[in-house]
Structure 1
């Protein structure tokens, strides 16, 4: 997940959360990377001042109540909120990974067995949401984050209590994302049922294995027309044969013809077992597959914006049994050149560090051909004295002459942490 520095007009704290960078934005607001007083990372969602009114506050308050109601291993946890603040905000668990849309766009579709594992995970999570009397109503690839411990569902901003008699929308107003919207939802039918989330999950899985949606057109209005037309079948081109019957049923125009979420889980499990694999093994492979695509050392797209890495702790207590051998450089990595005779040995690389090692002090390595830099020098040419040993660098507002603040820490620590996450994902029990 890309993290960019705060803009000068951004708040530096909301409630008890310090804001460290930007991680996303939308029409209604901005999402920041935050940190609680106890050091817990969080995604802090803030409504834009230009759209704050009584209706947006009411809708935001409903989202907060929904998040307080739901829970589960595959749901980003609620951490705190204030709908009455001058800038209403909501903090949830920070998931360190891209959303499904970005992953497929960058690395291509998922293999069918991994898509089946994803379907089982998400269907089970949605089943838990439905058991609490809620519908998501806006499930889509951008609302599924592929974290180091597996996928998680986010953004319950359009979620609704299935038995609620209170609505924040006009009688014929339609809310949601049309590319993943069920026909009855697009037509404004009320009340909606669990079948709308089944359809959306089918559209999400279709995108995961093909890179396209059931209905695509030049404008949202045209998509609405295609979705609601019973004579227009969804585009299932490119779907693997073993997934085709399930996705055909999930994307049925008639809500009564779609399977239940429990049946979706069972059919995904049967598909996985037909490949000679257990469901838990397929889930681990899904997580390892998405984590592998984020290994350090991969070239970033030429048009990507600069990122600010999440600062890793200087040393952590060992919490899972991972041997140093599991952190060593992959076999396909180039071997280091031998040092000339009489020179001092090179410092240990991140591959040789154990989880309890902490990276040595000193600046990050500079690319070849660039002159050495003063370790106290900042991108804006200002200078800051290094913090005292054992103390975290200050993260408040910039001092005079410092310009935009950045988050800096050891490159070795980042690489070690990334390898730890990859190894942990492969060993995760879920």
Structure 2
């Protein structure tokens, strides 16, 4: 997964997590690579200041409560959060791998047996979520990360308690991703049932094995029309024959006609066993396959480059990849306090800006990439930026190495 340096306006720590770089960005916030007091890597999501209001805080608080409630080996674990901070943040397990959408777009569709293995894994994970009284409601390829230990589901921002009487959406308001949205969800039907996640998983598996979705169109509104039109069947072209019965059932227009998640697991097992393989073997092959594709795409001297999608308005800049962090430090690298690197260049549009920036005295203007060594002390929270000359950072051995390698790798690639 691609890591880029922090920007000057980024916080240096949130709660007990020191921030080491940027790993992603979405419409609502920024995701950072962080490190806990004990050295545990984390993905730290922060709501953009421009969208922080009472409703976004309430949604964020609900996501936190959802993550506290659910657990499982295929769910990115909850590590910490602070919904009432000036900049609300949420830390989850860091999964070092691309999402399914990027993997398929880069390396092509998965073989049918591996798609069946993925279906069994995710169906079992969703079944555990449903057992805990929750729906995901926004399952899609971008929300499945292909890590070194197998796939994991992320982003429960739209998850809902199935029996909750409190809703954050107005009547007939639709939230979710149209290309993977069940017809009843697109039509604004409430309450929703477990069948919406079955449909979304079917759309995800169709994409995994063919590279396209059940309904595609030029605009989201056209996709909504296709999804909700009873007379428009899903496009299953390119799907292998052994998966057609499963995908047809999962993508049925009527929720009552879709199989349960337990049935999905059983049908996926049948596809795998029909090809002379056990489910455990198929799971291992899936992980080995996705890891192997990353290895093939790697530069000759290092690990793969897995770019993270950025908004179209972003200005491309120098990027740091995991291979750079594995490169030994130069023999003449100083053994003193680390520096954190920031991308010099145009600032993001005002809608993405954070209210605070580093003071001129707190960074080296010769290259825009150095912050002064802090005095010992506890890292500040996001809601209180330190006064000039008083900022503190925690420096574990791993943090020191990561910061030094980011600095060295960025300096080597900088065009100036």
TM-score (structure 2 length as normaliser) = 0.78
Match of 1:124 in 2: 124
Whether 2:322 is the aligned partner of 1:309: answer: yes
After superposition, what is the alpha-carbon deviation per residue over 1:233-290, rounded to whole angstroms, capped at 9, x for unaligned? Answer: 0000000110011000000001000000000001101110111111011000000001
Q: Which whole-Å CA distance do the structure 1 matches of 2:198 and 2:128 have between them?
A: 13
After superposition, what is the alpha-carbon deviation per residue over 1:285-316, rounded to whole angstroms, capped at 9, x for unaligned? Answer: 00000111122436859989512438979xxx
Match of 2:396 in 1: none
CA contact (8 A) 1:311 1:408 kept: no
SS at match of 1:294: helix
After superposition, what is the alpha-carbon deviation per residue over 1:80-124, rounded to whole angstroms, capped at 9, x for unaligned? Answer: 000000000000000000000000000000000000000000000
More off after superposition, 232-241 vs 401-410: 401-410
Q: Which whole-Å CA distance do the structure 1 matches of 2:229 and 2:329 have between them?
A: 64
Match of 1:400 in 2: 364
| CA separation of 1:310 and 1:168: change in aligned 2, threshold 3 A | farther
Where relative contact order (Cα < 8 A, 6+ residues apart) is larger, the structure is 2
SS at match of 1:233: coil
SS at match of 1:179: helix
SS at match of 1:85: coil
| CA separation of 1:300 and 1:144: change in aligned 2, threshold 3 A | closer
Unaligned runs of 5+ in 2: 308-315, 342-357, 371-401, 407-416
| CA separation of 1:311 and 1:129: change in aligned 2, threshold 3 A | farther
Count of residues in Structure 1 that have an aligned counterpart in Structure 2: 342
Whether 2:108 is the aligned partner of 1:163: answer: no
Give, in angstroms, the shift of residue 394 of structure 1: 5.0
Q: Which whole-Å CA distance do the structure 1 matches of 2:217 and 2:328 have between them?
A: 54
| CA separation of 1:217 and 1:132: change in aligned 2, threshold 3 A | same
Map 1:19-38 to 2 at 5 A: 19-38=19-38
CA contact (8 A) 1:104 1:110 kept: yes
Q: Which whole-Å CA distance do the structure 2 matches of 1:312 and 1:211 have between them?
A: 32
CA contact (8 A) 1:42 1:92 kept: yes
SS at match of 1:293: helix
Unaligned runs of 5+ in 1: 314-358, 364-374, 377-385, 411-430
Give, in angstroms, the shift of residue 399 of structure 1: 4.3
Match of 2:413 in 1: none
Give, in angstroms, the shift of residue 408 of structure 1: 4.3
Match of 1:179 in 2: 179
| CA separation of 1:311 and 1:82: change in aligned 2, threshold 3 A | farther
CA contact (8 A) 1:309 1:407 kept: no
TM-score (structure 1 length as normaliser) = 0.76
Q: Which whole-Å CA distance do the structure 2 matches of 1:362 and 1:51 have between them?
A: 42
Match of 2:346 in 1: none
SS at match of 2:364: coil
After superposition, what is the alpha-carbon deviation per residue over 1:152-182, rounded to whole angstroms, capped at 9, x for unaligned? Answer: 0000000000000000000110000000000
CA contact (8 A) 2:2 2:306 kept: no
CA contact (8 A) 2:2 2:320 kept: yes
| CA separation of 1:118 and 1:304: change in aligned 2, threshold 3 A | farther
After superposition, what is the alpha-carbon deviation per residue over 1:374-420, rounded to whole angstroms, capped at 9, x for unaligned? Answer: x44xxxxxxxxx116xxx8355986434522584449xxxxxxxxxx
RMSD: 2.3
CA contact (8 A) 2:215 2:235 kept: yes
Q: Which whole-Å CA distance do the structure 2 matches of 1:301 and 1:312 have between them?
A: 14
Rg larger for: 1
Q: Which whole-Å CA distance do the structure 2 matches of 1:119 and 1:304 have between them?
A: 37
Q: Which whole-Å CA distance do the structure 2 matches of 1:305 and 1:395 have between them?
A: 15
Give, in angstroms, the shift of residue 215 of structure 1: 0.3
Match of 1:366 in 2: none
Q: Which whole-Å CA distance do the structure 1 matches of 2:64 and 2:184 have between them?
A: 26
SS at match of 2:224: helix
Give, in angstroms, the shift of residue 361 of structure 1: 6.3
